[in-house]
Amino acid sequence: MPLSDFAIHAHGLTKQFGQHTAVDRLDLTVPRGSMFGLLGPNGAGKSTTLSMITGLLRPDAGLVTVNGVSVWPDPTAVKAGIGVVPENLLLFERLSAREFLSYVGRFRHMTDESIDARTNDLLAVLDLESADDKLITDFSMGMRKKISLAAALLHAPPLLILDEPFESVDPVSQRSIRQILDQLLDAGGTVVLSSHVMATVEELCDWAAIMHHGQLLRHGPMSEVRAGQRLDDVFAQTIGSDALPPTRLDWLNTFAAEPENRSGAEL
Amino acid sequence: MIDWASARSFIPLKFRTITRTPQALIGLILGLLLGGGMAALGAFALWALRGTEHAELTLALSLGGLAALWLLGPLVLGGGEIILDIRRFGPLPLGRSTIGAGLLLASFVGVPAMVTLIAVGASVTHAASAPVAAFMAVAGLVFVVSVIVASRVVVSFMTLVFGTRFRAAATAVTMLVAISLGAASQSLVYIGQLVSLDDLRALRSIARWLPTSWAAESLALASADRLLPAVAFLAGAVVFVGALFVVWGRLLARHLEGGGAADPTKRRGPLVSPWMDRLVDRRTAAAWARGNRSIRRDPREWAETAAFIPLVLAFSLPALTVIRSASPRLMLVSYLAVSSSVAITTSNIFGSDGPTVVADAFPGDGFKSVLIGKTIPRMVAVMLLVALGTVALAVFTDGWLLLPVSLALITQSGLVAATAGIFVSLRSPIPLPDRVGSLAGNNAGCVASLVRVVTLFSINIATTAWAAPTLTVALLGRPLLALVPGVAMLAAAVWWYRWVAEVEGRRTANRVPELLAALSLRS
């Protein structure tokens, strides 16, 4: 495929924190118009990878292009064409949901009319209308996710990169978010999401990648990654943890022999 | 290239952020009244002193002091990038120069900028002629820009080093600074009696070599019609501002590229140090070690522990300044600071880690170990620092003979206050919701607030009574003999502390659901 067919193309992407290599010479391609699921256990390097792709964390080595534009020479230009829900939701805590979206829209050079209309739509669809005037500092985790998603969608980006978008979000809103993502996809957009929920990724995504210890272990169309199995089975096999090692947690069987460990006696 | 439309949007963003809650609005209005009043007073003083050496000295030192506040203020006052955190702009298509310009413009919103502009404006009106006024206007502008950018550099650097904990701490520390200033202002009278005009001249001669004071020095010199040195200092200030912009630009770039991201694999040492296990039993050591970590990591705990600093200032500064020659026995008053501060830090031991009481309660043990483990770190942190202060007092007052008995008094006061803290925490537990500072939390309910005020007063009375035998012997002129009642009362304090922890711990162990209900009800 020519490079222009990819929404994201990363080559040799590497990031180290001290002695720890969070992402190790990662090669990743995301085709335009795909719904791409990035999977991996905690600490696999998913969020670090997404941060490097979105211009939020400078890689130690490697190249990454987004929509054909190299990210690190000019991250500002790349950010203009993407919507991001990052891992750390750093929001303006002392603004209300509406004010927050209003400022994000201004920073993206949108007209006031457009900001107002889209804010109304997004708050309604994401069930945040009742929190219209509530300060973000008082939001629940799920509401913070939703307002962050609204900010990422406000300028109708062709590429949406979402780090755990369904985490802490109620089922009704999850449904709404899926519909929004489908709509974006139908219009020719691309969505990249990371998630721990296999069922969600299996249902939504047509491309997937599995990361572990900073490396990409599987990568391709969902049908190829699954290879006729359930995604969670493939995931467990890929990262090598499909069963608890029999030698671990042996002490769990010793409760009958050590009743004094659970004594309620005061010292 | 600067996107000025976006940069200008930082101004209303900052304004909305600092006026969005009633508390913030009241703080802003009070700040404007206080800061504006002080600036107006300074302007009047300058006018009254015009034509004298005092005017030039006042101008140089007050603007130099203002520059120092700009440098130090953001570290503790929750200003600058704490309000408009650079990383919040990360996902937006804003370049480094646009964010820098926006932050610079936003700095003109708020009390510090207003006070600085009034001060600079007043100094310009002080000029002898129109050309000098024009020069001073330029120097004033350089001064304003230099203090703002210097402040930004400090905050950017500190946020890179300290990360989110630093920013979270700033809000809690704001209140402490306000209290400290209140306490310190009581000592200004004493300090004022000791400072002569020569001291101020010496201070200026030192301050003028600090780059942050160069623009101020230029203004002061120009106000006295000494234009040649004024131009030299202004040139230095302009170079300094240029250097600051370069450094700030690099720091901004580091922020925007994820600088300061932590190593997720960093390993920390064991929770419980071996020496703790040797001093107390395993469960108490665990609670003690957790308390130590909490004090180090939770800004709200820092605030509670640091709350005693103004008290120590209030007690020790007068003793160190005016009365230091009067009587070395005055160092004995430091035990009152200990009792008050330990009372503050221990009167809400479920405060910032209220939810963890479930973890403490779950193993089904009595609460004695938890209570002792929670109070020891708070007590030790305060008592060690006050003990250091007392040693300093001994040096200044030559009161070495009083030092042993003074340390005995400090220890017993801490124990008595911690005992009362345990009692109040269990009888009137108050949890603190996330992002609420401890001092604000204590005022969450008027009844709880009243309980705490009465407690602090009662604890001071109780520790005074407890210290009375030791104090009486010490003040009658036999400092070493006072060690006898001192040690006896210390032993009694240890026994009292352990006994209350035992009794209250046993009582609480049977009432954990009620304790949890009280914590939930008030959260």
Tell me the per-residue pLDDT of B192-215, one tens digit each, with 9 for 90 and over. Answer: 666 677 777 877 887 788 888 899
Q: Indicate if B288 and B235 belong to the same structural domain.
A: no
Q: How far does B256 lie from chain A, in Å, by closest CA? A: 6
Mean predicted confidence (pLDDT) in B241-268: 78
Q: Are residue A248 and residue A179 in the same domain, yes or no?
A: yes
Q: Could you write out the DSSP letters of every residue in B106-138? A: HTTSSHHHHHHHHHHHHHHHT-SSHHHHHHHHH
Q: Which two tokens stand for residue A258?
A: 């050590």
CB of A190 closer than 8 Å to CB of A82:
no
| Cβ <8 Å between A267 and B283 | yes
Task: Please give the structure tokens belonging to residue B337.
Answer: 């600071």
Confidence of residue A43 (pLDDT cuts 50, 70, 90): confident
Q: Are residues B414 and B470 in the same domain?
A: yes
On whether both A42 and A139 belong to a single domain, the answer is no
Number of residues assigned to chain B:
523
> Domain boundary at B256, B289, B311, which?
B256
User: Has residue A199 been placed in a domain?
Assistant: yes
B93-102, B342-351, B376-385: which is most confident? B93-102
Q: Give the residue from chain A lying closest to B364, CA to CA.
A: A264
The verdict on residue A232 lying in a domain is: yes
Instruction: Please report, rounded to a whole number, the percentage of residues in chain B having pLDDT higher than 70.
Output: 72
Cα–Cα dist B315/B406, whole Å: 14
Q: Residue A108's closest chain B neighbor by CA?
A: B93
Asked if residue A194 is part of any domain, the answer here is: yes
Which of B20, B21, B266 is the best substitution to test chain A (most A C-beta atoms within 10 A)?
A: B20
- Assess whether pLDDT exceeds 70 at residue B432: no
The SS3 call for residue A168 is coil
In the listed set A123, A154, A185, which residue is the last one of a domain according to the structure?
A154
Q: Are residues B285 and B238 in the same domain?
A: no
CA of B19, closest CA in chain A: separation in Å?
Answer: 9
Do B174 and B249 lie in one domain? The reply is yes
The pairing of strands A82-85 and A159-163 is: parallel
Q: Please state, rounded to an integer, the average pLDDT across all residues of chain B.
A: 76
Pairwise CA distance, residues B371 & B205, whole Å: 54
Q: Which of A94, A108, A137, A145 is most worth mutating to test chain B (most B CB atoms within 10 A of its CB)?
A: A94
Together in a domain, B332 and B363: yes
Cβ-defined contact of B6 to A54 (cutoff 8 Å): no
Of the candidate ranges A136-145, B287-296, B409-418, the one whose mean pLDDT is the lowest: B287-296
Enter the DSSP assignment of B11.
H
**Total domains present in chain A:** 2
Contact state of A76 with B95 under an 8 Å Cβ cutoff: yes
pLDDT at B182: 56
Bigger pLDDT: A245 vs B515: B515
Q: From A154, A172, A201, give the residue that closes a domain.
A: A154
Q: How many Å from the N-terminal Cα to the C-terminal Cα in chain A?
A: 70
Are B124 and B209 contained in the same domain?
yes
Place of tokens 């919040």: B88
Confidence at B442, pLDDT banded by 50, 70, 90: very low
Least confident of A46-55, A116-125, B375-384, B510-519: B510-519
Averaged pLDDT for residues B118-130: 82
pLDDT for B230: 92
CB contact under 8 A, B92 and A90: no
Return the residue matching tokens 């479920």: B350
Judgement on whether residues A124 and A226 belong to the same structural domain of the protein: no
| pLDDT single digits (tens) B285-335 | 888 888 787 777 766 666 666 656 666 666 555 555 544 455 666 666 667
A123 falls in which pLDDT band (50, 70, 90)?
A: very high
User: Do residue A165 and residue A148 come from a single domain?
Assistant: no
* Residue B364 near chain A (CB below 8 Å): yes
Same domain (yes/no): B236, B120:
yes
Q: Please report whether residue B266 resides in a domain.
A: no
Last residue of a domain, one of A104, A136, A154: A154
DSSP string, A231-265: HHHHHHHHHT-SS--TTTTGGGGGTTT-GGGG---
Assess whether B244 and B292 both reside in one domain: no
Residue contact A76–B94, C-beta within 8 A: yes
Query: Is B270 part of the contact surface with chain A (CB cutoff 8 Å)?
Result: no
| Nearest Cα residue to B190 out of B336, B39, B329, B314 | B314
> How do A6-17 and A61-66 pair as beta strands?
antiparallel
Query: B258 in contact with A at a CB cutoff of 8 Å?
Result: yes
- Smallest Cα–Cα separation from A36: which of A185, A168, A142, A153? A185
Residue A90 has its nearest CB partner, among B87, B257, B435, at B87
Overall average pLDDT of the B75-89 stretch: 63
Please tell me whether residues B372 and B223 are part of one structural domain: no
Amino acid at B226: R
- B6 contacts A20? CB cut-off 8 A: no
Contact B187, B320 (CB under 8 A): no
Q: Taking CB atoms and an 8 Å limit, are A56 and B93 in contact across chains?
A: no
Same domain for B37 and B171, yes or no, is yes
Nearest CA in chain A to B257: A57
β pairing state of A159-163 and A61-66: unpaired
Are residues A246 and A190 both part of a single domain? yes
Does A162 share its domain with A62? yes
B334, B380: one domain: yes
Q: Say if B261 falls within a structural domain.
A: no
pLDDT at B358: 63
* Per-residue pLDDT tens digits for B443-468: 444 455 566 667 777 777 888 888 88
Cα–Cα distance measured from residue A44 to residue A59, given in angstroms and rounded to the nearest whole number: 16
| Domain identity same for A67 and A105 | no
**Sign of the four-CA dihedral B501, B505, B506, B507:** positive
3-state secondary structure of B366: coil
Q: What DSSP element (H or E) covers A4? A: none
A120 in a structural domain: yes
Question: What's the domain count of chain B?
Answer: 2
User: Does A86 map to a domain?
Assistant: no
Q: Which residues form the domain of B98?
A: 4-256
Size of interface A-B (CB pairs under 8 A): 101
The residue of chain A nearest to residue B507, with distances taken between CA atoms, is A266
Both A145 and A248 in one domain: the answer is no
Same domain, A109 and A239: no
* C-alpha dihedral sign at A39, A43, A47, A52: negative
Residue B267 has a CB neighbour count (10 Å cut-off) of 5
For residue B262, is it within any domain?
A: no
Q: Tokens 């407690």 — which residue?
A: B455
- Write out chain A residues lying below 8 Å of B95, CB-based: 76
Return residues 442-501 of B near A (CB < 8 Å). Answer: none
Neighbours of B49 (CB within 10 A): 16
**Residues A130, A163 within the same domain:** no
**A29 and A136 inside one domain:** no
Q: Is B189 inside any structural domain?
A: yes
In a domain, A87, yes or no: no
User: Domain holding A54: CATH number?
Assistant: 3.40.50.300
Is there a single domain that holds both residue B103 and residue B163?
Answer: yes
A137 belongs to a structural domain: yes
A257 lies in the same domain as A178: yes
Cα separation of B319 and B389, whole Å? 11
Which residue segment(s) compose the domain that A145 sits in? Answer: 93-154
d(CA B477, CA B467) in angstroms, rounded, equals 16
Nearest CA in chain B to A59: B257
Q: Could you tell me what percent of chain B has a pLDDT over 90?
A: 12
Nearest by CB to B88, from A22, A91, A262: name it: A91
DSSP label at residue B335 = H
d(CA B425, CA B509): 14
Q: Does B91 sit within 8 Å of A107, measured CB to CB?
A: no
Asked if B95 is an interface residue toward chain A (Cβ–Cβ < 8 A), one would say yes
Rounded to the nearest angstrom, the minimum Cα separation between B263 and chain A is 5
